[in-house]
Structure 1
Amino acid sequence: MRFLLVLAPLLGATVTTAAPSKDAAMILQDLQKQVEAELQETHQAPAPGRHGGNTCTLANAAIRRDWYCGPLLLFHFLLSPGERKEYIRAVKCLWTSPSVDPAFSAAQNHFDDYVAVHMNQTNFIHGTANFLTWHRYLIYIWEQTLRSQCGYKGYLPYWNWFKHQTDLTKSPVFDGTDTSLGGDGEFLAHNGSVVGAGRIWLPPGNGGGCVKSGPFVQFTINIGPVQPAMQGYTPVFTDVKHRNPRCQRRDLTTAASVSTFTAANLLNVTVGAASATIGTFQDELQGSLGTLRLHGAGHYAMGGDGSDVFTSLNDPAFYLHHAMIDRLYWIWQVLHPAEAGKVNGTVTFRNNPPSRPGTVDDLLEMGGLGPAVPIRDVLDTLGGTPLCYVYR
């Protein structure tokens, strides 16, 4: 195995010089309070509708909540075990629903359709001007499909990274109970994961094989892998026409979560130096070559199928991870209104090959999942047509 850069010094780098006096979870609560206070001042009445007739207000907006269910259950912003089971039931419903696009011949069900659409567009929705808005719209369509097609009454939960960073098996997202999204994989000896454009090595966790517990152990995934980070997990097909039925694999590792899901990184991206512009915010959230940062760390903390940039949607936790990404984007937008309506970057992955700058008029294409909309239509989660939601 080749030697790569040591993880901790890379991921620990931050522009914040003084150690925060609170842990990341408490800081996130403080940021939430600031955002809610700001919205109370600015969004009591509907924002002017881009298409006319916007009726979205704080009073009728959907509320996306934390998957966590713990000692604070009395607070309404946490999901109950029953609500979590309902979400799981709805996800299983998509696994038994037919694929909607015959072009995706590898897709065996509607769950696979989402994997296929993301896989087809990977190089045009990462390291691009539309990264944040494309994924925002994707998880919105996922949420609405669960509601309209599978009878789900709730809204998309999020995975709060800033809890259980030191032991992901204790997280209610990954603890393997019937109210989780599955536990770790079976132990499978491997040499860890190579990430950050091949510049960072993450040590292996205690999994690596098929997910061994939780509601999804019997389910088959069909597309990919294309570019798995985990060594020993061999890429198979690079298109959506060839089916590769297999179990979902996971290798929970704290190497990324402990180093990245920190108070310093949270402050930097929301109110620190990296929050100054949409460009610096987006770059810090996504990470540059040779770094993980918050977006990458979530994927690589899951390991296995969740670490494949093309087909990470094979892990059901993808949607909760990207809801947390969207939550930070939402927080940042409310706290930085002058930058909130802007985009930055080009229309190809890190401008390779060189391409034009992205604009708010660029369409967010979703294949057969939903209608294409311009970026400007999803910049405000309270803008109506289509979005009307907040986080709590």
Structure 2
Amino acid sequence: MRLAILSSLALLAIAPPSSVFAEADCSEPLVRKEWRTLSSEEKQSYLSAVQCLQKTPGKTSDSYPGVQSRYDDFQAEHIQMTDLVHFVGFFQPWHRMFVAQYESDLRSWCNYTGAQPYWDWSLDAVSPEAFLKAPVFDAVDGFGGNGPYVDSANDPSVVAHIPGKTGGGCITDGPFKDRKVSMGPGKSTKLNPHCLRRDIAPEFAASKLNSTMVDWVLSADNFLEFDIRVQGGISADAATYHGGGHRGVGGDLGEIADIYSSPGDPLFFMHHANMDRLWHKWQHLDWDTRQSDIGGPDTQFAYPFDFFGTNPSYANVTLNYKMTYHNLVPGPFVKVRDVMETQKHGLCYTYE
């Protein structure tokens, strides 16, 4: 099913184009680490900061009526921008800044002193059984686990049925079991409080998130091919590790599987931080060439993502392409060139 293109393209013109970053010193970059390598104290500090952001008043409720907190600002912006920033050439640059702003807010709004962690799912996707035991699902030092099983075989709201799903209900443990997600499912930003649901599909996850898949994606010779491999196709069969992370945890009914409202699950940021790590890794396999390698269409589903044969008009994304975030970040525009390096133009982090 083709995603509807947002009718609010006019929002892109609410302010004159500008670059939000100035050159800044980055002599001591934050070091993003894999979740399982953190101490229990470090994990609890991060989880507490996320909960703090979920209780801190938001800034975008005038634009998005469902926003109740600063955390909701991120979900609302993702809902609003989904049909503009997926299956386009700036998908990865846009999400790099999105996660960086989240990291910055955890630190500046909630006194978090660490970096944004990432979840290297390839370490857990060695088997379905191992995936279910991933440390990120721990009830104490993690994000909680699955919801109870809900039969969704005949649910008309399910766009893509994921084989081997095991949950679908509200999560029953962990620090977010009583949290009410403010918006979604789908692309409405109206207030719709509901529980956080997960629907883990371990066999699907193990097939899409394993090291073989990662190695294949990283073997791409140029950014356009790399990005095609990262984003995969729109069907479950055609998914690679982007869709594998969302649907491997979200199955049919989980929040993180909803292409619009997926940031409602805090695991979204762990997943996308790992994707950013892999882009960073791919760049540094040939840094001289890849530090400026970008490409792909500026229009969803245009070539090379023309899944529907509609051939929409498009322009190729360049380093000067201006990405919009509305009121989520200062600006509201960020040029692609400003996020090509993780230690320049205001970004200041690396990966361990």
TM-score class normalised by the smaller sequence? 0.7 to 0.9
TM-score (norm 2): 0.84
Q: CA deviation at 1:178?
A: 1.9
Residues 353 and 264 (structure 1), Cα distance of their counterparts in 2 relative to 1, 3 Å cut: same
Q: Distance in 1 between matches of 2:96 and 2:224?
A: 17
1:125-204 alignment, distance < 5 Å: 125-165=85-125, 166-167=128-129, 168-175=131-138, 177-191=139-153, 201-204=161-164
Among 300, 307, 320, the alignment partner of 1:361 is 320
Among 21, 25, 33, the alignment partner of 1:55 is 25
Q: How many residues in Structure 1 have an aligned counterpart in Structure 2?
A: 313
Tell me the amino acid that sits aligned with residue 104 of structure 2: Q
Q: CA deviation at 1:186?
A: 2.1
Q: Which residue of 2 aligns with 1:47?
A: none
Is the 1:113–1:369 contact (alpha carbons within 8 Å) kept by the matching residues of 2?
yes
Q: Distance in 2 between matches of 1:161 and 1:193?
A: 29
Tell me the amino acid that sits aligned with residue 314 of structure 1: G
Is the 2:22–2:346 contact (alpha carbons within 8 Å) kept by the matching residues of 1?
no
Q: CA deviation at 1:204?
A: 4.2
Q: Distance in 2 between matches of 1:260 and 1:125?
A: 22
1:201-350 alignment, distance < 5 Å: 201-226=161-186, 238-240=187-189, 242-270=190-218, 272=219, 275-290=220-235, 291-303=238-250, 304-337=254-287, 338-350=289-301
Residues 105 and 373 (structure 1), Cα distance of their counterparts in 2 relative to 1, 3 Å cut: same
Which of these two proteins has the greater Rg computed from alpha carbons?
Answer: 1
Secondary structure of the residue that 2:170 maps to in structure 1?
Answer: strand
Residues 163 and 391 (structure 1), Cα distance of their counterparts in 2 relative to 1, 3 Å cut: same
Q: CA deviation at 1:285?
A: 0.9
Q: Deviations over 1:273-315 (max 9, x none)?
A: xx10101100001103441101000000111110011110011
Q: CA deviation at 1:121?
A: 0.7
Secondary structure of the residue that 2:31 maps to in structure 1?
Answer: strand
Identity of aligned residues (%): 32
Q: Distance in 2 between matches of 1:359 and 1:139?
A: 21
Q: Which residue of 1 aligns with 2:5?
A: none
Q: Does 1:65 align with 2:33?
A: yes
Mean Cα deviation higher: 329-338 or 286-295: 286-295
Tell me the amino acid that sits aligned with residue 369 of structure 1: L
Gaps of 5+ in 1: 1-50, 69-77, 227-237
Residues 263 and 193 (structure 1), Cα distance of their counterparts in 2 relative to 1, 3 Å cut: farther
Tell me the amino acid that sits aligned with residue 345 of structure 1: G
Is the 2:283–2:291 contact (alpha carbons within 8 Å) kept by the matching residues of 1?
yes
Q: Distance in 1 between matches of 2:137 and 2:261?
A: 19
Tell me the amino acid that sits aligned with residue 258 of structure 1: A
Secondary structure of the residue that 1:348 maps to in structure 2?
Answer: coil
Q: Does 1:376 align with 2:337?
A: yes
Mean Cα deviation higher: 183-192 or 204-213: 183-192
Q: Deviations over 1:120-148 (max 9, x none)?
A: 11111111111011000000000000000
Q: CA deviation at 1:347?
A: 1.6
Q: CA deviation at 1:52?
A: 7.8
Is the 2:230–2:240 contact (alpha carbons within 8 Å) kept by the matching residues of 1?
yes
Q: Distance in 1 between matches of 2:108 and 2:155?
A: 38
Residues 82 and 130 (structure 1), Cα distance of their counterparts in 2 relative to 1, 3 Å cut: same
Residues 260 and 204 (structure 1), Cα distance of their counterparts in 2 relative to 1, 3 Å cut: closer
Secondary structure of the residue that 1:349 maps to in structure 2?
Answer: coil
Q: Distance in 2 between matches of 1:263 and 1:97?
A: 38
Q: Distance in 2 between matches of 1:53 and 1:387?
A: 9
TM-score (norm 1): 0.75
- CA RMSD in angstroms comes to 2.2
Q: CA deviation at 1:179?
A: 1.4
Tell me the amino acid that sits aligned with residue 188 of structure 2: D
1:64-143 alignment, distance < 5 Å: 64-68=32-36, 78-101=37-60, 102-143=62-103
Secondary structure of the residue that 2:107 maps to in structure 1?
Answer: helix
Gaps of 5+ in 2: 1-20, 303-310
Q: CA deviation at 1:155?
A: 0.6
Q: Which residue of 2 aligns with 1:229?
A: none
Is the 1:278–1:340 contact (alpha carbons within 8 Å) kept by the matching residues of 2?
no
Q: CA deviation at 1:373?
A: 1.8
Q: Distance in 1 between matches of 2:72 and 2:348?
A: 26
Tell me the amino acid that sits aligned with residue 172 of structure 1: P
